[in-house]
Structure 1
Amino acid sequence: MFKTILLFLFAWGIAYQSAWAEERAYRFVTLEFPPLEFTGEDGEPTGVAVEVVHRVMAALGLQVSIDVHPWSRSLDRVRKGDADAIFTAYKTPEREQFLDYSNVVLIPQVIALYARKDSPINFNGDLLALQDKQFGVVSTISYGAVFDQMRNQLRVQRVEDIEQNFKKLMLGRIDILISNIYVADWELKKTGFTKHISRLPLEVERLPSFIAFSKARDLTALRDRFDKELLRLKESGEFDAIVAKYDLTVPPDIQ
């Protein structure tokens, strides 16, 4: 009889924990990176990636709240297990130590260079050919392996956000700005700098960005469910419909 009671309590405990896990609100973090993720006029997170994440979690029947922070703080929160997941994150060896990356690409991204239209700068695909130029970067952002591996060989000026870099480019304090094209093109339209600044023709790199789950939270099962629903979203055309709302052209997934 005692064994029966223990087995019942054990089974009840597992069922209770499972139900609690399904009902609790997950907490994801991201950064100000419009139009992919940013704080809207109503103070709530919005953007392409935010809408996709909300759509996936809703389809799974799970609640999620999304906090927008400076990138370094968001990384720190998932590293400590204070947040369940982070997006949109490039995959790096250092981050893989504390993040369990999705297997399905969240947003494929394109990295390119920007310069003043009156600048004679020409990019032939070799960053080292531009060693005498001043590059503007955002201090906490990775720009993919191609640029990051050469960063120490280039003349780099760091700022806190891309808007500061565009102002420095307009004033001639830097020669080149490197950025994800979605963010840079969005900022150019917002500021009206399109008359003076343009994207150089050759891309630096195309690379995938992901949602990644905190290893401190042991969420591999959620990651797998998220992957399955994200893939369905892409195959059904729902993903493309969300992207179209923001007037973006997103390349095919890059693994």
Structure 2
Amino acid sequence: MIIRFTVLCFVLVMTGRTVNAQEVQNTYVFTGALFPFILEQNNEGAPKGLSVDILKRISEITGDHIEVKMYPWARALQMAKAGVTHGVIGPYKSEEREAYLNYSSTHFYEDRMVLLQRQQSSISWKGDLRSLSSYTMLAINGWAYGPEFSAALPFLNVENVSTAEQALNMLCKERADLVALNERNALYEIQKENVWNELSIMEPAFRTVVGYFAFSKEREDLAFENRFNTALNWLATSGEIKQLSANYGLSYIGPTVE
């Protein structure tokens, strides 16, 4: 039955027909935090962004009602881990998270992981994180920065803070030497705080990572996951995610990126 329904969804997508909401009476709650362009709020407080656009299309295709709620990132992950919600929006992959999340079959956005410093600083950076052991670095609580960052942590002086905004403010006030962020968040916060003349992004990036939708293993629903993944795969391979990404000034290479 699950296989038949999944195949049906795929056929409906390929023919351009969507499932009527009356056909599948299911509601699923996904949580996420503020990720510039990926998940934000409009003036009325309603969720918006690339992830919301994609989830709307998936909902139209499968007939599942998908509700989006926003929380601080660490709380959003914990709610999915505990099975309070069905899934989470935007996580990078990490070994810790894979213990309690089933990731979507393909990612839907891509990020370069970078370091920021004050423009008057003269920190030498050639891509070796361990070379930064004498500096104070800020990272965002609950973020996964990739295996290179995790391996270098014992050699680094890293302090976790709650938000990217907090990290940049501390860097500007000389309460830290470096900030580790993704480039998308970095550019958003630099523009928002108008600190182009104070901060700079260091090259090279130390990793390119990709972000997924993920499902709570505590509330595992393989039928829903199959429907979701079939729709998401089609949106990726058909070029629709690339088109939606362009609306936000984001690039999207697609499923070949690891």
TM-score tier, shorter chain, comes to 0.7 to 0.9
Other-structure match for 2:44: 42
1:92-107 equivalence runs, <5 A: 92-107=94-109
- Contact kept? 1:122, 1:200, Cα under 8 Å: no
How far residue 206 of structure 1 moved from its aligned partner, in angstroms, is 1.0
Q: TM-score, normalised by structure 1?
A: 0.86
* Other-structure match for 2:60: 58
- Residue 203 of structure 2 corresponds to 201
Summarize deviations over 1:216-236 as a string: whole Å, max 9, x none: 222222222222222221233
* CA–CA separation in structure 1 for the residues paired with 2:71 and 2:197: 31
Tell me whether 1:230 sits opposite 2:245 in the alignment.
no
Cα contact 1:102–1:224 (8 A) shared by 2: no
SS at match of 2:215: strand
Aligned pairs (5 A) from 1:163-202: 163-202=165-204
Which secondary structure state, in structure 1, belongs to the residue aligned with residue 90 of structure 2?
strand
User: Partners in 1 of 2:115 and 2:137 — Cα distance?
Assistant: 9
Once structures 1 and 2 are overlaid, which stretch shifts more, 50-59 or 205-214?
A: 50-59
Which residue identity lines up with residue 69 of structure 1 in the other structure? Answer: Y
Q: Note the C-alpha offset of 1:248.
A: 2.3
Q: 2:146 aligns with which of 144, 147, 153?
A: 144
Query: Where do 5+ consecutive residues of structure 2 fail to align?
Result: 1-20
Bigger radius of gyration:
1
> Aligned runs of 1:78-117 on 2, under 5 Å?
78-117=80-119
Give the CA deviation at 1:252: 4.5
Matched letter for residue 172 of structure 2: M
Report the Cα offset of residue 251 of structure 1. Answer: 4.7
- Whole-angstrom distance in 2 between the partners of 1:151 and 1:45: 34
Structure 1 residue runs of 5 or longer lacking an equivalent are 1-18
Which whole-Å CA distance do the structure 2 matches of 1:124 and 1:193 have between them?
24
Q: Which amino acid aligns with 1:93?
A: E
**Post-superposition offset of 1:21:** 9.6
1:223 alignment partner AA: E
Q: 1:185–1:250: structure 2 CA closer, same or farther, 3 Å change rule?
A: farther
Separation of aligned partners in 1, 2:198 and 2:63: 47
Instruction: Tell me which residue corresponds to 1:158.
Output: 160
1:216 paired to 2:226? no
Going from structure 1 to structure 2, the CA distance change for 1:21 and 1:179 (only over 3 Å counts) comes to: farther
Report the equivalent of 2:77. Answer: 75
| Range with bigger deviation, 75-84 or 127-136 | 75-84
**Overall identity of the aligned pairs, in %:** 27
Q: CA RMSD in A?
A: 1.9
The CA deviation at 1:127 is: 0.5
User: 1:194 aligns to what SS in structure 2?
Assistant: coil
Tell me how far apart the structure 2 counterparts of residues 70 and 224 of structure 1 sit (CA, whole Å).
Answer: 28
